[in-house]
Chains A and B, each alone.
Chain A
Amino acid sequence: MAFPTSPAPVAVAQGATPTKPRPPAQPAEPKGWLGLVFMAPSLVFITGLFLIPLGMTLWMSLHNWPLLGRVKFTGLANYAELAHDMQLWHSLGFTLLYTVLVTTAIMAVALPLALLVDRPLRLAGLFRTIYFMPVVIGFGAASTLWMWLLNPDSGVFAQLLRGAGLVDSAPRPLESFWPALGVIILMVVWKTAGFTMVILLTGLQAIPADVIEAAKIDGASVFSRFRRITLPLMRNSLLLALVLNVTSSMLAFDQFFIITQGGPANSTISAVFSIYLASFSSYRLGYGAAMSFVLLVVLVAISSVQLAFLRQRPEES
């Protein structure tokens, strides 16, 4: 918070005791209130949209809070019930599984895509646009689209597969667990790989061309150039892509709510979905708040591990 233009002598004259003159190299504290003014808008936002709701979530989670009827203080009863709620733990486990699989899939698709479109060709721009296009669709709209694409009776996929003679009867991926998870991952990769590609592309383009050239002159092969130069130098954008993907996958809701609707047999209920069910199917707002809080703790733990990696500079490792 050093303001290079702030006149140091004035500050000294105002606040300093004459017996102990400050060393002139240390600039005086700038006007504190000015800093506060600059921070005020974001403080208002953080307080109003995060801290107050967070406090209210905590407050609600200590109550039996039905949508209709009387609110009753129950202390930690909601949290005690959470510990034995098999459905919740199952959905947390499922969300973790989904996160690992979908993040791997997105990275596996986005990195080659980024390498492909990172060329000084004129057509590269066109392909970047094509790969990025699904990103601009809303998640809810994309899920609804895929719900109908996957419809066994009138969906496009079933018609195409049958038309091509590949299958005799329409496939019904949503009726068993792994196929259902598979099509969801396919849809999410289609929807979000373009965004990860752009993040990775910025990392790729920040690699100085002369480093690569020097490696070429030294006779490094394509693979060792990629492994020894490209990957380490784009480490930060890789980590950023990872953090963003993991966080959004842990909060997945739309695709399961709309496409699988939690089925088959409640096996694809994500953590946020189970909060939704507690709050807006069972109308237990207090219990839903307690679940939200537990999910927040889990998310903060995961994110802080990832951010710790992100903070390490590549030259330190």
Chain B
Amino acid sequence: MLKIRWALAALSLAASTVLASASAQATDVTLWVRTSSGAVLQGLADHYNAKHTDKITVTQITAEQMVPKLGAAIAGGEPPDGAVLDLIYLPTFAAAEGLEDITEFAKSRPYFSAMSPSHIRLATYEDKIYGVPALPDASIIAYNTDLFQKAGLDPAKAPASLEEIAADAKKITALGNETYGFYFVANSGSWLIYDFLPHLWAAGADILSEDGRTATVDTPAFRETVAAYRDMQKAGAIHPTSRSGNGNNAVEAFASGKVGVLMTGSYIVNLLTSKYPDVKFAVAPIPGPKGGVSSFAGGDTLAVMKGISAEKKKVLLDFVDFYMSPEEQVYITKESGMPSRTDLAADAYASFDKRNLVAYDVLSKARTPYTFSSDELFVSRTGPFLNLIQGTIFGDDVDGAIKKAQADFTKILERTNP
């Protein structure tokens, strides 16, 4: 294990030394980007480099390696100049004093009020802002309008509550021929926070307190949500791959036309229309157990690493101004489905699928858990959140699973709260 850590540290050290020597001309800045956003950021960097003498070099990092690699690079004293991170990690790196305070820059932007509120909330630590939104996305539901019609449901009207989804799902499952009413990715923590937590938020509840320091697992909203899922599971309305699914098959399963409602994200619209144009579908925000809507504000935040030179910082912030321009926002919308600014809908969506607007509209109500230990609480395969969902939806002992999760959450929080 130690060997792996040292190999990792040595590797990132070597990588950053190479990068550091390449950026010796003071106007070259390096930017680490998680792979899923790599193509868009590379495109933006290319546009920027074509028009400027300064140069942005994008390095792609696999999503699940971003925290260990960036952590090792910071510990080794050779971090990149900037990073485009999953927004959920901002509190972790800000609290560990790895990021540069850019409060003044952010607040003085004319488009400050148009930055996704959840991105700014996550980037804020002790009243200072450490990042600005790069690429947002939001979780939504997609439903197959053909199946809705066949099951005698109104395809023009999205289900208004989770209990309605459960009722619809059972009707769709009754169509037979291996058709299932509902699909959610139940064996991946990062999918579950994206698609499951919005049910709770829609009902005004949350699994963590506002400051992320205490756990509030046992709420009526949670129990109602779980009851609706169990109802579907008991009726056989949940696609059998849901339980062990890690996301690999979700889109394909929905595209096969045999899934009624899929818990998914805003990127699904452009993905389905380009790869599976035959699927008839509509999208809607994620409802709470008895009504209300919410969404997980996901995506990436651009952060500046602590201690970089003033010139490099200037170039990076100049790059932010560049990609926030209306022209580049249209490019971002085309590539990833949603603009970083919330005041450009008319420009950004003019020539794209209108279904993208559903996620855009819900972004103002969207939330993200503010936490210092996202991986340990939510993402880890042995983590308390994954055990909670698997235990309460597929297990026999709901009370026991809730009690254990509350204890496990508390134990981890007590250790990791800064």
Binding site for B on A (CB under 8 A): 49, 53, 56-57, 60, 67-69, 87, 151-154, 169-170, 172, 174-175, 261-266, 269, 274-277, 279-283, 285, 288-289, 291-292
B382, A87: Cβ atoms under 8 Å? yes
Given contact pairs A67-B68, A263-B381, A152 touches B240 in the complex (Cβ within 8 A):
yes
- Residues in A neighbouring B241, C-beta threshold 8 A: 152-153, 172
Task: For A153, give its contact among B5, B249, B387 (CB under 8 Å).
Answer: B249
- Residues in A neighbouring B96, C-beta threshold 8 A: 68-69
Given contact pairs A172-B240, A175-B244, A67 touches B71 in the complex (Cβ within 8 A):
yes
B376, A282: Cβ atoms under 8 Å? yes
C-alpha spacing A285/B8, complex, angstroms: 13
Residue from B96, B382, B383 whose CB has the most chain A CB atoms within 10 Å: B382
- Residues in A neighbouring B418, C-beta threshold 8 A: 69
Q: Is B352 an interface residue (CB 8 A)?
A: no
- Residues in B neighbouring A285, C-beta threshold 8 A: 5
C-alpha spacing A1/B229, complex, angstroms: 73
B244, A68: Cβ atoms under 8 Å? no
The 8 closest A-B pairs by CB, nearest first: A68-B96, A281-B380, A67-B71, A282-B376, A292-B1, A262-B381, A57-B2, A53-B2
- Residues in B neighbouring A174, C-beta threshold 8 A: 244
- Residues in B neighbouring A277, C-beta threshold 8 A: 380-382
Shortest Cβ gap from B202 to chain A (Å): 28
A281, B240: Cβ atoms under 8 Å? no
29 CB < 8 A contacts A-B: A53-B2, A57-B1, A57-B2, A60-B2, A67-B67, A67-B75, A68-B96, A68-B98, A170-B240, A175-B243, A261-B187, A261-B381, A262-B381, A263-B187, A264-B244, A265-B387, A266-B381, A266-B382, A266-B387, A274-B382, A275-B1, A276-B1, A277-B380, A279-B1, A281-B381, A281-B382, A282-B380, A289-B1, A291-B1
- Residues in B neighbouring A68, C-beta threshold 8 A: 71, 74-75, 92-93, 96, 98
Given contact pairs A154-B249, A282-B375, A282-B376, A269 touches B382 in the complex (Cβ within 8 A):
yes
Given contact pairs A175-B244, A266-B387, A56 touches B2 in the complex (Cβ within 8 A):
yes
C-alpha spacing A67/B373, complex, angstroms: 12
- Residues in A neighbouring B67, C-beta threshold 8 A: 67, 283
> In B365-418, which residues have CB < 8 Å from any A CB?
373, 375-376, 379-383, 387, 390-391, 395, 412, 418
C-alpha spacing A172/B242, complex, angstroms: 11
A283, B375: Cβ atoms under 8 Å? yes
A289, B75: Cβ atoms under 8 Å? no
- Residues in B neighbouring A280, C-beta threshold 8 A: 68
C-alpha spacing A12/B1, complex, angstroms: 51
A281, B391: Cβ atoms under 8 Å? no
C-alpha spacing A292/B6, complex, angstroms: 15
Residue from A154, A263, A269 whose CB has the most chain B CB atoms within 10 Å: A263
C-alpha spacing A242/B135, complex, angstroms: 54
C-alpha spacing A53/B249, complex, angstroms: 41
- Residues in A neighbouring B244, C-beta threshold 8 A: 172, 174-175, 263-264
A-contact bits for B71-114, CB 8 A (1 contact / 0 none): 11011000000000000000011011010000000000000000
Given contact pairs A68-B74, A265-B391, A289-B2, A281 touches B383 in the complex (Cβ within 8 A):
yes
Q: Is B252 an interface residue (CB 8 A)?
A: yes
Given contact pairs A68-B75, A289-B2, A265 touches B246 in the complex (Cβ within 8 A):
no
- Residues in B neighbouring A69, C-beta threshold 8 A: 95-96, 418
- Residues in B neighbouring A262, C-beta threshold 8 A: 381-382
B376, A281: Cβ atoms under 8 Å? yes
- Residues in B neighbouring A151, C-beta threshold 8 A: 248-249
Given contact pairs A57-B1, A276-B1, A281 touches B187 in the complex (Cβ within 8 A):
no
Shortest Cβ gap from B178 to chain A (Å): 8
Residue from B98, B241, B387 whose CB has the most chain A CB atoms within 10 Å: B241
